[in-house]
Amino acid sequence: MDNGLTGLLGLARRAGKAELGEESVTTAILCHKARVILLASDAADNTRRKIGSLAGQGNAPVLALPLTKAELGGALGRAACAVVALTDMGLAAAAAEKLSRLDPQLYGDAAQALGSKAAKQDRRRREQRAREKARQAQGRKPWAAPPKEGRQT
């Protein structure tokens, strides 16, 4: 089942954009930093219930992965991992899109919602950069050569 999802998850961990384990994910959800929560297929029922109830508070979708805890942990550089929260919107949208390629009916709606949120966030960032550049350009004065001494104009 390697459509690039495991590589994407490893990249997210190395970039510091993934929270691993139940306690870290809970903290990310409560701080509204989690963008999507990924659960291993063999995660415990107690973990599923706890993360499911917290995800509603944090407004983050929970997606059940077709990976076991060992496979998910291997992708993240651990022995096993039952739950992962991605904290970057672009990575969350990319992960949901990769999952929707596997099963469009199960993951399609989440992929579409996360994709539109990622596009909106990207548009806002570009607009903010443009405003900052315009503000910086206003403060600059056009360059002119200094007048030479002894010469009258």
- Residue-wise pLDDT for 2-52, tens only, equals 678 889 999 999 999 999 999 999 999 999 999 999 999 899 999 999 998
Question: How many distinct structural domains can be found in the chain?
Answer: 1
User: pLDDT value at position 144?
Assistant: 73
Q: Is the pLDDT of residue 81 over 60?
A: yes
Query: Which of 146 and 94 is assigned the larger pLDDT?
Result: 94
How many whole angstroms separate alpha carbon 135 and alpha carbon 127?
Answer: 12
Nearest CA to 42 out of 13, 10, 6, 83 is that of: 83
Task: Report whether pLDDT(123) > 60.
Answer: yes
For 77: left if phi > 0, alpha if psi spans -120 to 50, otherwise beta; the answer is left
**With a threshold of 0.85, does the pTM exceed it?**
no
Average pLDDT rounded to a whole number, residues 89-111: 90
Residue type, position 57, single letter: Q
Structural domain for 86, as ranges: 5-137
At 57 the pLDDT is 83
Asked if 17 contacts 88 with a C-beta cutoff of 8 angstroms, the reply is: yes
**Residue 18 forms part of a structural domain:** yes
State the sign of the Cα–Cα–Cα–Cα dihedral 22, 23, 28, 29.
positive
Q: Is residue 152 part of a domain?
A: no
In this structure, is residue 99 part of a structural domain?
yes
pLDDT at 109 over 70: yes
When pLDDT is cut at 50, 70 and 90, the band that residue 112 belongs to is very high
CATH number at residue 73: 3.30.1330.30
